[in-house]
Structure formats: structure tokens, C-alpha cells
Structure 1
Amino acid sequence: MIRVIIAVVLTVTLSLSSPLQSNAEASYRVPQEDSEELRLQDMLLNFLTPYINDAVRDYYRRLLVESPLVYPYFVNVVDSMRINGFRGFNLSITLDVTPVVGPHISVGEDRLTFQISVGPEVKLVNYTHLKSYELPPHWQNIVKKPVK
């Protein structure tokens, strides 16, 4: 009987001490040190964050009552290129983003491609929803119900 109690206590202790899974954490790369490239990328993401959030809000407005947000640290740069050749200032950037609600609860993963040109002018040219995550029970109230 004592062995059973010890086994139960040990099982409960181990399961409570293990970290909870977070979808947001797995979907972005965590830099290990600062660099010139990282600082420039962070400056660019500061500039692009309003455009990212507008695109995400437009997509999720049909699915959720509350608009999710994308924080710069939940963004991965997938690709960037010059559209009009060397030293041309018409550029394209593709980003993978993880929109969240509330205390950083992931609602999905999305890929956005922006065209950036002199002005600056920022134009969303492609939005692809990659993955949806189910919200926890206490956040189900923000999910829009299908219209019948």
C-alpha cells in the first residue's frame, strides 16, 4: 500500500513539475546572442508590426470576436529579396507569424509576404493560413459560431 501511495505521489509531482506545452514557443526561433543582423531585423519588424497586425486582424475577424496580435518576437523571416535587381529599392519579405490572444495563447500560424518600396510603401501581396490551434476552454467564448 505504501508503494502505491509513493508511486502516486511521485507521478503527480513529476507531472506537475514538467513544463506545459506552448504552441507559440515552438513556432519561432530564439536567438542566442545579439548581432548586427538581429538588430536590423528587429528594427524592420518594429516598422512592419502594424502592417502585420492589420493583416492578421483582417484574416481572424471572421473567426474570432477578439483580434489576435503578433509580437515581433513571434515572427520569423522566411525570405527576403530585391524585386528589381541589385540596389533596387523594391523589396519583398516573407514572414511566418504566430498570432496570440490574451496571455500569449497561440491561435495559429500564418505566412505573410509584403512588398516594400520607397515611400515607404508597404503592401500585403500574399497571406497564407498555415495552421490553427484550438483555444483552451476558458477562451472558447471568443470563437465565432458558424452562421446557419
Structure 2
Amino acid sequence: MKKSWIAPLLVAVMLFLTPQPCSANRLIQPQSVTPSRSDSGLQLPDQDSRELKFQDMLMLFLLPHIEKKIADIYSPLLRESPMVYPYFVDVTEVKRLNGFRGFDFLITLNVYPTVGPHISVGEDTMTFRISPGPKVKLESFKHLKDPKKSDFPPNYQNILR
């Protein structure tokens, strides 16, 4: 009879140590991370699709070219280069330059670079030409928005020039 407490104790331990599913991801809204994106009225996807997979692969391919230009543009504004995350780049337009099934493209992107814990530092539009080879050339660039001091917490204001 003295050992009758062992079984309930084992059940209690197993209940506390068993991983429980978490639904916190459903509570987090992606727009809360970058105010500039939610202000732009863009609808962020909430599930995966074939188109989104191809867009994400394209971003991985273009990311080194995007980061290089962003570093050049923001060097007079910031003491450190901003980061560009593939999920903070929106494809706004894709054109085939040489007709159906041609492999010469113009791709226009809106880029939202960040520093630190995803502090938005601006907005930029880039148009790349992707042609066989593959060759990537930045055709045009437009800086739309500078960093604002009011968007930076006190411990990150030293990043601004």
C-alpha cells in the first residue's frame, strides 16, 4: 500500500514532460514586425503556395545583388549596413522582354532593409534584368524612404549618421 503513490507521480511527471503543441504562431501578425509594410497596404500571405516558393527561391538568388546595392545607398545614412531579409522583399512586377517562353526578364522589387531587431530603415525599389547565363544586372534603383530617428529606440540611435 505504501507504493500506491508511485503510479500517480509517474503519470504527473509524464504529463509535465510531454511536449505540448503551441499555437503562438497564429497570434503573431507579420505586419507588426515592419510598420512600413503594413502601411503600404500589402497583403502578406498566411500560407505556402507554389508561387510563393518560387518567389522565395528567386529572392535567395537575388539577395547578394540586393544587399550590395543597399549597403552602398545606406552607407551615408547609417554607420552599419542594413540587413535585407528575403521575406521583406516584395515582387511588384515581372516582365518577359522577348515574348512567350523567352528567358530575359525584368523584375521590380520593393525592398525594406532593417537593422538590429528588425528596425525598418527605409524603402527602396529595384529593377533587375535577369538573362541567360544567368546574368543579373541592376537596371534601375529608386530610394523611396530614409530612416527616421523617431523609429529607432535610444540604444540604436547611434547607428544613424
TM-score by length of 2: 0.71
1:123 paired with 2:140, answer no
The equivalent residue for 2:45 is 31
**How far has the Cα of 1:21 moved from its partner?**
7.8
**How far has the Cα of 1:23 moved from its partner?**
2.0
Aligned residues: 125
Aligned in 2, Cα 1:21/1:70: closer, same or farther, shift over 3 Å?
A: closer
What is the distance in 2 between the residues matched to 1:90 and 1:59?
Answer: 27
The equivalent residue for 1:95 is 109
Output the aligned Cα RMSD: 1.8
**How far has the Cα of 1:98 moved from its partner?**
0.4
The equivalent residue for 1:65 is 79
The equivalent residue for 1:11 is none
1:138 paired with 2:155, answer yes
Q: Which runs of 5+ in 1 are unaligned?
A: 1-19
Runs of 4+ in structure 1 deviating by more than 4 angstroms, as ranges, are none
Aligned in 2, Cα 1:33/1:103: closer, same or farther, shift over 3 Å?
A: same
Q: For residue 88 of structure 1, give the secondary structure of its aligned residue in structure 2.
A: coil
**How far has the Cα of 1:40 moved from its partner?**
0.8
Task: State the structure with bigger RCO (CA 8 A, min sep 6), 1 or 2.
Answer: 1
